[in-house]
Structure 1
């Protein structure tokens, strides 16, 4: 006849299983909070006036946080709040916002681009009032070169005397200025 086993080891094992079961029930469904990140942002864009651009920002672990698009002027003097979450707050029909739940990406589209649309576009994940994660993309708008009225229009000098002519031009990309003589020979520039 076999000697009966002690129930202590069996009960101890059961106790561990019960304890793990209780703790697992409390902790199991809860997810560890991960820090939100911006996993992708569109690279710098150079577009023509009248064109269209799409700026994409993909985020991870940000479902409990607000995601914004904000535009800042190139000199950082002016800031415009464009969107919050999947809602556009800017009242300009040229702008639209698309949110893709499967890729958690926020795509800002600008149609009929104007020179004033140039600037720094920031995608922000707001963690608290004083803390945010952000990534930015520059939008540059091509502008045709314009020669300024204060450039030298005409100049009369005596033969053999030095002459100084000035040309001021603006545009994007910054225009390269070259001087040519009547015979189309390129002159040196200072």
Structure 2
């Protein structure tokens, strides 16, 4: 009779006759443990982006999730100079902006770069020292911090109305220490005898917003206005203060705009020649 299929480590029951009484008895025996199953090889759980963009001054996080690492070591290498930045939870660079994020008992080995600079752009590899070695390349792109003024680059307002300019800076981890406003080549003076000039600044996760308000606009308020953050490229808009009605892009008190000047001119020409 062939032996039954059994699982290593399980218990089986056997019936054996008693040689004296002739009755059968049941005996239990435990099978010898078989060889353990082959351990799973480490692999990357490729759930994070392979192309990451950060803004100068922000923090960048490069994700690396390694499944079944076992006793293998996870490292991060900068591709351009083959510099090992981290190995396991240890950092091997004098640049304190680099660190590895590995929550206890997790599969995540994320590289964090604080206060990103333009020179940090390039390929970084998450590596596991298997045989052969496996690696996950991630491209880091670094953009300049940039200010922007909402709306049109040229704004038309009526004399006596309010000029409203909103400047946004796309840096949130390290917001600008200051945002200056210039009218022409001069810094806007909020304490000038003219009065009626104020500034509202708000810092959120999306960045820093600076809103310049100039009430009771004068003809002398016409000119170029520049928003200049301490850690980002500036942005400019030209304001035209008009004396009376004018077929132009007029800014309302809410900061919205009407039809641009070129559109109004085209409509007038069509009406003139269409007669």
Runs of 5+ unmatched residues, structure 1: 145-190
Structure-2 residue corresponding to 1:32: 38
Instruction: Give the C-alpha shift of residue 143 in structure 1.
Output: 4.1
Give the RMSD, CA atoms, in angstroms: 2.4
Structure-1 residue corresponding to 2:74: 67
Provide the TM-score with structure 1 as the length reference: 0.58
- CA contact 1:41–1:137 (8 Å) conserved in 2: no
Structure-2 residue corresponding to 1:156: none
Q: Counterparts in 2 of 1:9-28, with a 5 A limit? A: 10=26, 14=28, 17-18=29-30, 20=31, 22-23=32-33, 27=35
Provide the TM-score with structure 2 as the length reference: 0.41
The answer to which structure has the higher helix fraction is: 1
Separation (CA, whole Å) in 2 of partners of 1:122 and 1:37: 14
- Secondary structure, in 3 states, of the residue corresponding to 1:40? coil
Q: Counterparts in 2 of 1:1-190, with a 5 A limit? A: 4-5=22-23, 10=26, 14=28, 17-18=29-30, 20=31, 22-23=32-33, 27=35, 30=36, 32-40=38-46, 42-43=48-49, 44-73=51-80, 78-128=81-131, 131-143=132-144
Q: What per-residue deviation string (whole Å, max 9, x for no partner) do you get for residues 89-123 of structure 1?
A: 11111112221233221121111111111111111
Structure-2 residue corresponding to 1:167: none
Larger radius of gyration: 2
Q: What per-residue deviation string (whole Å, max 9, x for no partner) do you get for residues 156-190 of structure 1?
A: xxxxxxxxxxxxxxxxxxxxxxxxxxxxxxxxxxx
Change (3 A) 1:133 1:41: farther
Runs of 5+ unmatched residues, structure 2: 1-20, 146-275
Q: Which has the higher contact order (CA 8 A, sep 6+)?
A: 1
Q: What per-residue deviation string (whole Å, max 9, x for no partner) do you get for residues 40-95 of structure 1?
A: 3531111111111111211111031011101113xxxx321111111111111111
Instruction: Give the C-alpha shift of residue 6 in structure 1.
Output: 5.6
- CA contact 2:67–2:107 (8 Å) conserved in 1: yes
